[in-house]
Amino acid sequence: MSRTSSAKKSETSNEISAAPEDRLPPRERIVSTASELFREHGIRGIGVDAIADAASTNKMTLYRHFGSKDELVCETLRRASEKADAIWRDLEAAHPGNPGAQLDAWVEMRAQCLNGEPAGCDLANAAIELKGEGHPAHEMIERHKAEQRDRLAALCSAAGAREPQLLADTLTLLLEGARVSRQAMGAASCCGHFAKACRAAIASFT
């Protein structure tokens, strides 16, 4: 862990102003640190004391920004959702008015993402870990996954695919399956054929 307790500083109202200007604000440090720790240890595997310590702050400051650990979990997942949304903006910017090229680029970008997320999808992992607990994050996760699938279906339709809804489901299943396979069997497993499998699926619907 890169952050250590030796770097911890009290962040009471009298001492917050002493932090260096190039240092992230407490809220941002807490969210960033929590995201890393949840990814490494699981949401239930790490407590607020450890998060506060690793973020070089204290539990009082953490609860001042987040009323509960559940609220902090929701914020980390909201940030993950925003990063996923940025992919669609990048596709449109790179290939304006060309949905076919955007769909091909989606495959390429997702293949690259697989190599950059060895722990899998934060939202999917959270959904599995928190299943059955009635956690407030579930609604956010379901909404995010549904929106991603619907945007993919719209792109498949714009690219002229037959049965765009089915193609979107197929590509979604390939992506989620590749994420699980990478965790279970490593990067050299069948997940290495993700892009090829996606292109074969796309070709079969055109």
* 3-class DSSP string for the chain: CCCCHHHCCCCCCCCHHHCCCCCCCHHHHHHHHHHHHHHHHCCCCCCHHHHHHHCCCCHHHHHHHCCCHHHHHHHHHHHHHHHHHHHHHHHHHHCCCCHHHHHHHHHHHHHHHHHHCCCCCHHHHHHHHCCCCCCCHHHHHHHHHHHHHHHHHHHHHHCCCCCHHHHHHHHHHHHHHHHHHHHHHCCCCHHHHHHHHHHHHHHHCC
Q: Tens digit of pLDDT for each residue in 88-145?
A: 999 999 999 999 999 999 999 999 888 877 778 899 889 988 887 788 899 889 999 9
* pTM for the model: 0.79
Q: Tens digit of pLDDT for each residue in 176-188?
A: 999 888 877 777 7
